[in-house]
Amino acid sequence: MLGAANQLPHDYTCPQAVRTALPEEHYSTSWVADRAVAWLEENAEDGPFFLMVSFSDPHHPFNPPGKYWDMYDPGDMAVPPALEQDWQPPPHVAAIHRARAEGRAKLGGMGAIGTTAREAQEARALSCGMVSMIDDAVGRVRAAAGSSEVTIFTTDHGDHLGDHGMLFKGPACYEEITRVPMIWHDPANPEARRTDAPG
């Protein structure tokens, strides 16, 4: 199932945009949610519990399955400012752009690469598809857990998604990589509030 020959056809140019042929129900996000729901249905009534549910998305490769692939139109995605104005990148970012222009960038790797505006829009649209799939999966898990449970939702890192003219992550620890959300839902303290303070 791996490799370009096994993906569904598409016209995206973004590196690591992969239109997987894997059905939604067999994709990792669904599999993780299925396991979590099954565990909750079997164990949640036995008393206090801690369940960590870890989704590997949103992450490159950008490969949301099924309906999530074209749920968002790249043309509707904002173009990052660095890609629509005359901008002089700092030396470490300029080196990443130079590597891409010279054909030395590792397009299939994990490290940051230079990008175009269209690639950034495609990466953003596909990432939104992955996030929507996770939203649906988290909804299923929350429903199985019941409304009386404390829920904490967070992530490990972000993605440049075109900011600073880069895709993927590293080596620069810009806000897009390091500033990630945390949502804490405690039914015993229902008053909603928002803070920018570190958790």
Residue corresponding to tokens 């390091």: 178
111 Cβ contact partners less than 8 Å away, ≥ 6 residues apart: 168, 169, 170, 171
Confidence band, pLDDT 50/70/90 cuts, at residue 183: confident
Q: In the chain, how many domains are there? A: 1
Domain assignment present for residue 173? The answer is yes
Domain assignment present for residue 191? The answer is no
Mean pLDDT lowest for which of 50-59, 125-134, 173-182?
Answer: 173-182
Domain assignment present for residue 124? The answer is yes
How do residues 134-179 score in pLDDT, each as one tens digit?
Answer: 999 999 999 998 876 788 888 888 899 999 999 998 767 888 888 8
In DSSP notation, 126-163 reads HHHHHHHHHHHHHHHHHHHH-TTS-EEEE-S----TTG
In DSSP notation, 14-71 reads STTB----S-GGGSHHHHHHHHHHHHHHHHGGGS----------S-SSB---GGGTTS
Residue 86 near residue 40, CB atoms below 8 Å = no
Residue 114 near residue 95, CB atoms below 8 Å = no
Domain assignment present for residue 33? The answer is yes
Domain assignment present for residue 73? The answer is yes
Domain assignment present for residue 59? The answer is yes
Q: What is the pLDDT of residue 64?
A: 97
Average pLDDT score over the chain: 90
Distance between CA atoms of residues 74 and 72, nearest Å: 6
Mean pLDDT lowest for which of 7-11, 109-113, 143-147?
Answer: 143-147
Domain assignment present for residue 17? The answer is yes
Residue 29 near residue 134, CB atoms below 8 Å = yes
Residue 159 near residue 179, CB atoms below 8 Å = no
Distance between CA atoms of residues 71 and 154, nearest Å: 23
Domain assignment present for residue 196? The answer is no
Longest dimension (CA), the chain: 60
Q: What is the pLDDT of residue 150?
A: 83
pTM: 0.91
Q: What is the pLDDT of residue 97?
A: 93
Residue type, 12: Y
Find the CATH number of the domain harbouring 45: 3.40.720.10
Give the structural domain span for 20: 4-185
How do residues 55-83 score in pLDDT, each as one tens digit?
Answer: 999 999 999 999 999 999 999 999 999 99
Quote the distance between the C-alpha of residue 88 and its chain's center.
28
What is the phi/psi pair of residue 143, to 5°? -65, -40
Percentage of residues in the chain with pLDDT exceeding 90?
64
